[in-house]
A = this chain, B = another copy of it.
Amino acid sequence: MVTLKQLAKELNVSISTVSKALNNSEEIGEETIKRVKELAKLYNYKPNKVALSLKQNKTKTIGVIIPNILNHFMAKVLFGIEREAGLHGYNIITCISNESLNKEKEGFQLLANGSVDGFILAVAKETQIKNEIAHFKKTLGDGFPIVMFDRVAHDVQCDKVIVDDFDSTYNATKYLINEGRKNICFITTIDGLSVGKLREQGYNKAILEENNQQLLTLKIDKQEDSQEKIKEFFENNTVDGVISADNATGVISINTAISLGLKVPNDVSVIGFSSKYISSHSIPKLTIIRQHAKDMGAFAAQLLINRLKNPSLPANETTTKIVKTSFVKNGSTL
């Protein structure tokens, strides 16, 4: 990597002349600018990012702390973030918290030392369960803006991008009720998460509003075998409708129903919070509640970058963007 110093030496001018020439300063003669630029091009000069960061006290880098990159939804949000950030000249540096509070804290430790200008994150499961928010407040207090997406800590004052989990699950449940389903169950592998709870509440409300319906819930632990649990559940309960809170148990429910000789959607109707990609892992395809993960990522990046560009924005004036889901009807519902 060639530096200003080397160019300056070769051109017999001072370092700052080279710097200014490359920045098209008025103070430098046309001829000199031309000479400098030619040599710079020849050597493929690029300003050293680190030196720039130090000088300008901003890194143009966003720290992203993701609980689980193997989750398709999270990966898609990350994709959206990366893309939007790139459009604004920002890079992203990724930490994976693995749903652990400690790793989440470490992420801040590691990056809040000048490595990044701000953070985008979804709160780790353990953090949500223990309801810890001190590290968020501390990081905010240190002057790093934070944007939370999907799983947020409500008691932290920062920009947020969330899904209308409650409403969309409520509506999806209503949809099954209107199909005439009598035994609608709720299946979740994300009981510990804020979004998981909201979805359950949406289901509960819709069910409890009817007087001929009753709650029927299957909670599966991450460690357990979803296929087995669902099979067992179907065998021991009468089920003609399924709302799946996560992105896997929807297609698994369809496949299980079929393997038990049931017809989908005639005998059982299934709706899941899932992605288009996963929805095709069953025949018929799963009817899904799409979360527009890419858009969520893009919004999160926009909110953060906006704050970075306007440092005067008051810290207590925060935005919460609610990204509405779309109901995508595929073959698993009538």
Interface of A toward B, CB cutoff 8 Å: 1, 46-51, 53-54, 59, 61, 69-70, 72, 75-76, 78-79, 82-83, 86, 91-96, 109-115, 142-143, 225-227, 248, 251-252, 255-256, 258-259, 277-278, 280-283, 285
Check A50/B46 contact, CB under 8 A, given A69-B75, A70-B76, A70-B277: no
Residue of B nearest to A254 (CB): B255
Known: A69-B75, A259-B283. 8 other contacts (CB 8 A): A46-B113, A48-B54, A49-B113, A82-B95, A82-B96, A86-B95, A93-B94, A255-B255
Residues of B near A114 (CB, < 8 A) are: 1, 48-51
A50: which of B53, B83, B91 is its contact (CB, 8 Å)? B53
User: Which residues does chain B contribute within 8 Å of A76, judged by CB atoms?
Assistant: 70
Q: Can you report 20 A-B residue pairs in the complex whose CB atoms are below 8 A from each other?
A: A1-B113, A1-B142, A46-B109, A46-B112, A46-B113, A48-B54, A48-B113, A51-B54, A61-B93, A69-B82, A70-B72, A72-B72, A75-B75, A82-B96, A93-B93, A226-B280, A227-B285, A251-B281, A255-B283, A278-B281
For A278, list chain B residues within 8 Å (CB).
Answer: 281
Task: Name the contact of A115 in the complex, choosing from B49, B111, B227 (C-beta under 8 A).
Answer: B49
- A86 and B114 alpha carbons, distance in the complex (Å): 17
Contact of A78 with B69 at beta-carbon distance under 8 Å, contacts A91-B111, A226-B280 already known: yes
What residue of chain B has the Cβ atom nearest to residue A115's Cβ? B49
Q: Check A255–B227 contact: CB distance below 8 A.
A: no
Taking CB atoms, residues of chain B closer than 8 Å to A112 are 1, 46
- Nearest 9 pairs of A and B residues by beta carbon: A281-B281, A46-B113, A48-B114, A259-B283, A50-B114, A49-B114, A50-B53, A255-B283, A93-B93
- Give the residue name and chain of the B residue nearest to A94 (CB): B94
- Assembled-state Cα–Cα distance A96/B255 (Å): 33
A58 nearest CB neighbor, chain B only? B50
Among B47, B82, B252, the residue within 8 A (CB) of A281 is B252
Distance (whole angstroms) from the CB of A240 to the closest CB of chain B: 19
Given A49-B113, A50-B59, A281-B281, verify A93-B96 contact (CB < 8 Å): no
**A278 CA to B227 CA, complexed, in Å:** 12
Which residues of chain B come closer than 8 Å to A143, judged between CB atoms?
A: 1
**How many Å from the CB of A211 to the closest CB on chain B?**
36
CA distance A91 to B282 in the complex (A): 38
- Cα distance A76–B74 in the bound complex, in angstroms: 13
Residue among A50, A83, A252, A258 facing the most chain B CB atoms (10 A cut-off) = A50
Across the interface, which residues of B come within 8 angstroms of A50, CB to CB?
Answer: 50, 53-54, 59, 114-115
Minimal beta-carbon separation of A297 from chain B (angstroms): 11
Q: Which of chain B's residues have a CB closer than 8 A to the CB of A94?
A: 78, 82, 92-94
Report the separation of the CA atoms of residues A281 and B258 in the bound assembly, to the nearest whole angstrom.
13
User: Which of B48, B109, B281 touches A248 (beta carbons < 8 Å)?
Assistant: B281
The verdict on A255 contacting B277 (CB below 8 Å), with A1-B114, A59-B50, A113-B1 known, is no
